Amino acid sequence: MHQMIRPVHESTQVPAPRLLSRIVAGVWRMGDWQWTAQERLRWIEQCLELGVTSFDHADIYGGYTVEQLFGEALALAPSLRAQMQLVTKCGICLRMEDRPAHRVKHYDTSFEHIVSSVEQSLRLLRTEQLDMLLLHRPDALMDADVVGAAFTHLQLQGKVLHFGVSNFTPSQFTLLQSRFPLVTNQVELHPLHLSPLHDGTLDQCQQHRIQPMIWSPLAGGRLFTSDTPQAVRVRDALTAVAARHGVSASTMAFAWLLRHPSRPIPVAGSRRIDAMRDAVGALDVTIDAQDWTEIWAASTGHEVP
Ligand SMILES: NC(=O)c1ccc[n+]([C@@H]2O[C@H](COP(=O)([O-])OP(=O)(O)OC[C@H]3O[C@@H](n4cnc5c(N)ncnc54)[C@H](OP(=O)(O)O)[C@@H]3O)[C@@H](O)[C@H]2O)c1
């Protein structure tokens, strides 16, 4: 009998369906913006108009205040909920006056904490369901069986659709992935912080066809404000490559991230819609390996070996 032999490059897996918009809006800093609920709603609407339909939260943002600020804005136009994806995180316990049980800042990845944190996020965000829940930080005391049970419980109850992690090393990711299917690892990556490119984090994402979410894609603004020699070199390179493509340096910073084959999803954190537009503009920019490496080399201070 003749047997079909599959070419080695023909994969049996298909890419996962898109769960989030290609650029996500991060709301970590929303508490600092000192906006009215109407102003917050306007920002949300403008993000949606740009196709930035996913919003990245955490229970602790703004000292446990941002989910409520966002939920209040959403309550002014509840029909918008159907057009957006809500991501939040849990697992970090901050020391706060109104949380006297937290004697020290610590991590809690117990079943009870994960479930009660999600229930609180749902109340504050005024929604019935989260699109994605991430464990915010790796916890040395994490029991993978317990986290897997909490995720399963929340999914069966319809409270959370998808689950992932943030700031996990590849081995921490592999451990939890052995108990529950994870859809992302949200990590820091920008030209001033290259380690996920080289420590196996993005290799693992490609291996599992999991899109990494990228926090602080502009290094929290330091790409444009820092005067360290490295930042100055990176800024000069970004500006030069951007000029060749006829775009802003900010757009080029996003295009540099999007060039990676793991298909990263940048989480942009600006209050300015123009800055969000810069991020979205990168979706139309394709840079080649030499452009990409020019920025990498500016960061490392040397050419590739
Ligand atoms: N998982 C985690 O551990 C983790 C950690 C940190 C953040 N995050 C997520 O990632 C999101 C994004 O983080 P991020 O806010 O640090 O992202 P970012 O986009 O790298 O930085 C945004 C900051 O940079 C400033 N900025 C933007 N363009 C600028 C320019 N051209 N010149 C000077 N400053 C500029 C913004 O100010 P303006 O608002 O004035 O533009 C804002 O303060 C957060 O909201 C959060 O959702 C996750």
Nearest ligand 1 atom, CA 187? 1
pTM for the whole structure: 0.95
- Best residue among 24, 167, 187, 267 to mutate for probing ligand 1's pocket (most ligand atoms within 8 Å of CB) is 267
117 within some domain: yes
148/177 Cα distance (integer angstroms) = 9
- Cβ proximity of 97 and 65 under 8 Å: no
Is position 273 within any domain? Answer: no
The predicted pLDDT at position 11 comes to 45
Identify whether 217 is part of a domain: no
Distance (Å, rounded) from C-alpha 56 to C-alpha 30?
Answer: 11
Q: Is residue 197, in this structure, part of any structural domain at all?
A: no
The answer to whether 163 and 133 are in contact (CB under 8 A) is: yes
Q: Which atom of ligand 1 is nearest to the CA of 33?
A: 39
61, 107, 163, 256: which one is catalytic?
61
SS3 (DSSP) at 297: helix
Note whether residue 126 is domain-resident: yes
**Nearest CA, atom 1, ligand 1:** 166
At residue 15, the pLDDT reads: 54
Position 133 in a domain: yes
List residues near ligand 1 (CB under 6 A): 26-29, 56, 166-167, 186, 215-221, 224-225, 250, 267-272, 275
Compute and round to an integer the Cα radius of gyration of the chain. Answer: 20
**Strand, helix or coil for residue 152:** helix
295 part of a folded domain: no
**pLDDT reported for residue 6:** 44
Name the domain count of the chain: 1
Cα torsion through 81, 279, 276, 63, rounded to 10: 70
Mutate to test the pocket of ligand 1, among 29, 168, 235, 247 (most ligand atoms within 8 A of CB): 29
- Kindly give the pairing relationship between strand 24-26 and strand 265-268: parallel
Domain that includes residue 172, residue range: 24-183
Q: CA dihedral in degrees (296, 302, 304, 305; nearest 10)?
A: -160
Q: Look at residue 18 in the predicted model and tell me its pLDDT.
A: 87
168-177 contacts at long range (C-beta below 8 A, 24 or more positions apart) = 168/135, 168/138, 169/138, 169/199, 169/200, 169/201, 170/199, 170/200, 170/201, 170/203, 170/204, 172/138, 172/142, 173/204, 174/204, 175/144, 176/135, 176/142, 176/144, 176/147, 176/148, 177/208
Whether the Cβ atoms of residue 47 and residue 78 lie closer than 8 Å to each other: no
Q: The domain spanning residue 145 has which CATH number? A: 3.20.20.100
Q: What is the dihedral of CA 148, 153, 156, 158, to 10 degrees?
A: -110
61: annotated active-site residue: yes
Angle formed at CA 31 by CA 192 and CA 82, multiple of 5 degrees:
95
**pLDDT tens profile 15-68:** 557 899 999 999 999 999 999 999 999 999 999 999 999 999 999 999 999 999
For 55, the enclosing helix (H) or strand (E) is: strand 54-56
Q: Please, what are the averages of pLDDT over each run of 10 residues along the chain (305 residues)? A: 44 66 98 98 98 98 98 98 98 95 97 98 98 98 98 98 98 98 98 98 97 98 98 98 98 98 98 98 98 98 98
> Does residue 227 form part of some domain?
no
Instruction: Report the nearest atom of ligand 1 relative to the CA of 28.
Output: 45
pLDDT of residue 2: 46
